Chain A
Amino acid sequence: MTDWRDPAGLALALFLLGLLGLLARKNLVFVLMSVEIMLNAAGLLFIAAGMRWGTPDGQVMFIAVLNLAGAELAVGLVLLLRLRGRLTTLDGDAANLLRDAP
């Protein structure tokens, strides 16, 4: 029987990895991938929690998270495409056109 701490530790590692990618990458495709990794880390933590308390609820939540991630990814990709169409770049820092009224 595997201890629930192993997947929890893995989830923490994944989350930190994703965070690192999010903070380090400029390219929005990679930023999106990092967000996905962090989301999966959260999903994995649900499963670990389900193991800890011996209930299937964690796995149910994971399925739900997967669905949400799919939906969110679709919206995110559309935003990326729109941004690329307008700015001709995928650099997230270039999208800082919001200004005070003159």
Chain B
Amino acid sequence: MIAYLWLVPALPLLGAIMLGLCGGALPARINGAIGAGSVGLAAVVALCIGAAWLAHPPPQQLFTQVLWSWINLPGFSASIALALDPVSLLMMLIISVIGFFIHLFSTEYMQGEEGYSRYFAYLNLFVACMLLLVLASDLLVMFAGWEGVGVCSYLLVGFWFAEPANGGAAQKSFIVTRIADIAMLAGLLLLAVQFGTLDIHTVLAGAVAAWPAGTAMPALAASLLLIGGLGKSAQAPLQTWLPDAMAGPTPVSALIHAATMVTAGVYLVVRLHALFALAPGVLAAIGIGAALTVLLAAFAGLVQSDIKRVLAYSTMGQIGYMFLALGAGAWGAAMFHLLTHAVFKALLFLSAGAISMRLHHEQNIFAMGGLWRKLPAAFAAFAVGAACLAALPLVDCGFFSKEYLLAALWARGPWLWAIGIAGAFLTGLYIFRAFFTVFFGGAQTDVAGSYGPRIIVPLAALGAAALVIGWLQAPEFLGGAAAFSAFLAPAIGVAPATHLPVLVPLTGMAAPLAGMALAYTLHANGFWRRQGAATPGAVRRLCQTGFGFDAAYRFLFVTPFLVTVRALRQDPVDQAFGVLERLAVALHKNLRHAQNGKLRRYAGWMMAGSLATFLLLVFA
């Protein structure tokens, strides 16, 4: 069964090709069936592979499938090959299964939209590229998938391209991540030059053998690759594109900008953890940057009025948590949070989409209110998602992963842990601010339409998953399940068990509860709505715009670039060569009078010239 691995990325790619070539000629029902069906089949194959893997894991828990030899030069070779180990198996399952539910949701959500088949072609292509990214056994193939998901993100953010702002947002997301990818490409070239191949296992083995820990070379390679990961994962200081990327359709935000693509940076670091472990300085920098991102995203999320922007900042913050864990070397905790985050954030985005599709695409939370009675399905889904995001104790997967993560942070020292706790408090505060504002209080708008099964099934499936998958990895005082870390152990090792003081998990449980309680109090006395209606002060405006990163980048990069462009518009270098051209034109203007078509005058001049030459030769 595992030998059918190539089918997993091939099926969505086939779907994308079919939809791209003849989607426009097919009825919408068929397009939706191809789009969701190809990813659904890929998910089935992936699940079968997962079952086969659990029943009979291959030797050394690694399966490699070479499809083609790509480049074979003296000094460098690359092959198009897939590799499956527990980490990529987990990622493959996340992408294909959650991807399928989001496709299913999209078939109803996007009904009647212009470009229905184009939408599914892009979305299928995205899933294919993302699967290639996580299954690649060669960093070059991974980079191809990495760029492919970037392109699809660009296409889907700008899906409603008739609105110029959407095109701008798409360009922004593309350009910012591309800038990060230049660094990543430099890192890949460095590895290629050093080791003559980009095969992941060869490179890692070579790096461990050739580079002592803590020296400059691994630090350089790791930091270059890290910049690529930070850009893709929207971490400070390259986070500015993510809130704007919400211009795309909501299921796109759920799939690309919450569940899968933005976690590619985390996957990259986990995949290359042996290299990053050689660079403790880089890991420390990851921790500091992630702490900054967590706080920044939490404060920004606290003052947004667009429900999707709240969720975008929460995504940024939760990926910040994963990077906090990576900075502490807790690869397993980062992967577990990646898994739970993919489930509950997809759930949150889909329920946000389900809400706004019934409210004539209203996304402002202050224009909503009292929706729990009118939209019980979306209410239940959002409640589960919000509970997971805030990590409310015991009931949801977010709690288990955050508990695991915070325990790993505590083992590394109290500072990052304290920031994690502060972030947990703020997360509880801002998500329940949105939750209470949207679902409680007085009704504000009319609700139209109803949900079909293709909306309800994904919400129910993801909601059920969000409630149960946490038990894969439970803390000691809840039975101490370790199925998840045992599963990943062959790929990333097991973190040594640490004994935690009882106060640590208690604080971790209390912080989100305190945040929720404060959110409720402020909701009950109407503070949130008053604050939403008031003219924002300077501090709030700063938070709302993501702490002025956009303005700073505009000042530092965009404006100088535009000024340079304007200065170079006339092309000074070309102007220098233009002198030659103008000289030729001037000569032409003066000499053209001689060319008057009078044959006899030509003959006379020729004669005179001949005579002059003759005289010159004879007498000179």
Contacts and interface: CB of A to CB of B under 8 A. Distances in A.
A19 B607 contact: yes
A98 B596 CA distance: 8
Most buried by B among A23, A24, A26: A23
B597 A98 contact: yes
Q: Which of B603, B604, B607 has the most CB atoms of chain A within a 10 A radius of its CB?
A: B603
B595 A23 contact: no
B579 interface: no
A95 B599 CA distance: 9
A100 interface: yes
Interface in B597-619: 597-600, 603-604, 607
B607 A93 contact: no
A100 B607 CA distance: 27
B599 A31 contact: yes
A20 to B, nearest CB: 11
Contacts of B595: 98
A22 interface: yes
Contacts of A96: 596-598
A19 B602 CA distance: 12
Contact of A95 (B597, B600, B604, B607): B597
B603 A23 contact: yes
Contacts of B607: 19, 23
B566 interface: no
Contacts of B361: none
B603 A22 contact: yes
Contacts of B597: 93, 95-98
A98 B595 CA distance: 9
Contacts of A25: 600
A92 interface: yes
Consensus secondary structure, chain B interface: helix
Interface string A79-102: 000000000000011011110100
Nearest to B600: A23
Interface in A1-45: 19, 22-26, 31
A1 B579 CA distance: 66
A92 B597 CA distance: 8
B582 interface: no
Contacts of B596: 96
Contacts of A31: 599-600
Contacts of A95: 597, 599
B603 to A, nearest CB: 5
A28 to B, nearest CB: 8
Nearest to A24: B600
Contacts of A98: 595, 597
B592 A92 contact: no
B551 to A, nearest CB: 51
Interface residues of A, number: 14
Nearest to B603: A22
A100 B599 CA distance: 18
A15 to B, nearest CB: 10
Contacts of B603: 19, 22-23
Contacts of B600: 22-26, 31, 92-93
Nearest to B592: A100
A98 B592 CA distance: 11
A18 B592 CA distance: 28
Contacts of A92: 599-600
A25 B603 CA distance: 12
Nearest to A35: B603
A24 B603 CA distance: 11
A97 B603 CA distance: 18
Residue among B595, B596, B600 having the largest count of chain A Cβ atoms under 10 Å: B600
Nearest to A31: B599
Interface string B573-607: 00000000000000000001001111110011001
A95 B600 CA distance: 12
Interface centre among B592, B595, B598, B599 (most CB of A within 10 A): B599
Nearest to A93: B598
A97 B597 CA distance: 8
A96 B597 CA distance: 4
Contacts of A24: 600
B559 to A, nearest CB: 42
B260 to A, nearest CB: 58
Contact of B604 (A23, A26, A97, A100): A23
Contacts of B599: 31, 92-93, 95
Contacts of B592: 100
A19 B604 CA distance: 9
A39 to B, nearest CB: 14
Nearest to A92: B599
A92 B603 CA distance: 12
Nearest to B597: A96
A22 B604 CA distance: 9
Nearest to A22: B603
Nearest to B598: A93
Nearest to A95: B597
A96 B602 CA distance: 12
A19 B592 CA distance: 25
A92 B602 CA distance: 12
B567 to A, nearest CB: 32
A22 B599 CA distance: 9
Contacts of A97: 597
B614 to A, nearest CB: 12
A92 B599 CA distance: 6
A26 B600 CA distance: 8
A23 B598 CA distance: 10
A102 to B, nearest CB: 14
Contacts of A93: 597-600
A13 B607 CA distance: 15
Interface in B414-440: none
Cβ-closest 4 pairs across A and B: A96-B597, A92-B599, A22-B603, A23-B600
9 contacts: A19-B603, A23-B600, A23-B604, A24-B600, A31-B600, A93-B597, A97-B597, A98-B597, A100-B592
Given A23-B607, A93-B598, 13 more contacts: A23-B600, A23-B604, A24-B600, A25-B600, A31-B599, A31-B600, A92-B599, A92-B600, A93-B600, A95-B599, A96-B598, A98-B595, A98-B597
